[in-house]
Amino acid sequence: MRRVRVDEGSDGQRLDNFLVKLLKGVPKAHVYRVIRSGEVRVNKGRAGADTRLASGDEVRIPPVRMAANDERPAAPAREFPIVHEDEQLIAIDKPAGVAVHGGSGVSSGVIEQLRQARPEARFLELVHRLDKETSGLLLIAKKRSALVALQDQLRRRDGAVVKTYAALVAGRWPANRKVIDVALHKYLTGDGERRVRAVQADHAEGRRSITLVGIAQAWDGYTLLDVTIKTGRTHQIRVHLTHAGHPIVGDEKYGDFALNKALARGDAVPGCRFERMFLHAARLRVIHPVTGLSLELEAPLPAECEALMHALARQHPPSA
């Protein structure tokens, strides 16, 4: 039996997240199992996965098998392009194709690699997430207090946080289609893959999801959209745009697979091969957790996305 004292760096953290971080190598499913069984105790009492820990709490942890060090390959140390950094937080420009954290067949992601690159950092935690295939702005807290404050802003959805994405979609987006208010349901496929589908508003497990859409630029056959999310559901933008009949270019889960292959071969837009999803977290506004001032961040479109847009401009006359 192991007893761990909660330090200031973990003050306010959920019990499940505390254990997942502490018990590296232990499957999450097993962590939740021992919590549900009552084997994990906080200050000698039973606790739920969502119990918030306080500095000085004692957590009793039952014996669990942890992977040996040689079974867990160390994450490669890696820094990422910095958009903003201060004593409270880091905003990076995440490349497409990099997961934000390890798990589900991915040995490591942004957070593990950044911790390896900054061994002196006492605290680094993801404030929110981006899909592996999505590039752009990602916030990382450097202090527990900053993490709690920023995540509270995200949960309130009172307009303090504004996330805007650039998305290139197939087809001509109708100018009068500015709001998508369609419920989403998250489920697992037979082989355990996470998926999301649009459902009726009265669906028992559907969650209301709202996406705001504006046209940034249009060509014959393609539209570049400015997309702002009012709710932060899994795969929300991807599913909403596909449901509207205009899938995101390069989306391997919900997109136009024939078009994606043609783009990757360089057939759809001659002179340009495009092999990723065109979804980029371009702008982010939050309230700074210490100063209380609005912090407005921007990440430019990646070079490959700019190259595709230039090729479209050459091959397709701009639409009015």
Q: What is the mean predicted confidence (pLDDT) over 247-260? A: 97
158 — pLDDT class (breaks 50, 70, 90): confident
Please provide the distance, in angstroms rounded to a whole number, between the alpha carbons at the two ends of the chain.
69
* Alpha helix stretches (DSSP H) within 92-208: 110-117, 144-156
131 labelled catalytic:
yes
Q: Could you give the C-alpha distances from 151 to 10, 34, 108, 126, 287, in angstroms and in order?
A: 15, 27, 23, 10, 11
> What's the sign of the alpha-carbon dihedral 25, 28, 34, 40?
positive
Query: What would the CATH number be for the domain defined by 74-156?
Result: 3.30.2350.10
Strands of 95-193 (E only): list them. Answer: 125-126, 135-141, 162-170, 179-181, 183-188
> Which one of the listed residues 131, 181, 202, 251 is annotated catalytic?
131
For the stretch 92-132, pLDDT in tens is 999 999 999 886 667 789 999 999 999 999 899 999 999 99
Share of the chain above pLDDT 70, in %: 95
All residues at 6 or more sequence positions from 42 whose CB lies less than 8 Å from its CB, including other chains = 15, 51, 53, 57, 58, 59, 60
Strand partners, 91: 84, 139
For the stretch 285-297, pLDDT in tens is 999 999 999 999 9
| pLDDT over 90 (residue 238) | yes
The helix (H) or strand (E) run that includes residue 18 is: helix 15-22
- Could you tell me how many residues make up the chain? 320
In angstroms, the CA 196 to CA 205 distance is: 11
| pLDDT, position 70 | 45
In angstroms, the CA 118 to CA 102 distance is: 17
In angstroms, the CA 8 to CA 27 distance is: 26
74-156 and 162-315 agree in CATH topology: yes
Architecture of 162-315 per CATH? 2-Layer Sandwich (3.30)
Q: Residue 229 is encoded by which pair of tokens? A: 């999310």
Amino acid at the residue 83:
V
Classify residue 235 as left (phi > 0), alpha (psi -120 to 50) or beta: left
Spatial contact of 31 and 16, defined as CB atoms under 8 Å apart:
yes
In angstroms, the CA 220 to CA 319 distance is: 6
In angstroms, the CA 138 to CA 127 distance is: 8
Spatial contact of 271 and 314, defined as CB atoms under 8 Å apart:
yes
Q: Give the torsion through C-alpha atoms of 53, 56, 61, 64, to 10 deg.
A: 90
Which class is domain 2-67?
Answer: alpha beta
DSSP state of 269: S
| pLDDT, position 10 | 80
CB crowding 242-269: b at 16 or more within 10 Å, else e: bbbebbbbbbebbbbeebbeebeeeebb
For the chain, the structural domain boundaries read: 2-67, 74-156, 162-315
Spatial contact of 8 and 53, defined as CB atoms under 8 Å apart:
no
> Which of 19-33, 45-59, 144-158, 230-244 has the lowest average pLDDT?
19-33
CB crowding 49-59: b at 16 or more within 10 Å, else e: eebebeeebeb
pTM: 0.80
Mean pLDDT of the chain, nearest integer: 91
Give the Cβ contact number of residue 138 at 10 Å.
25
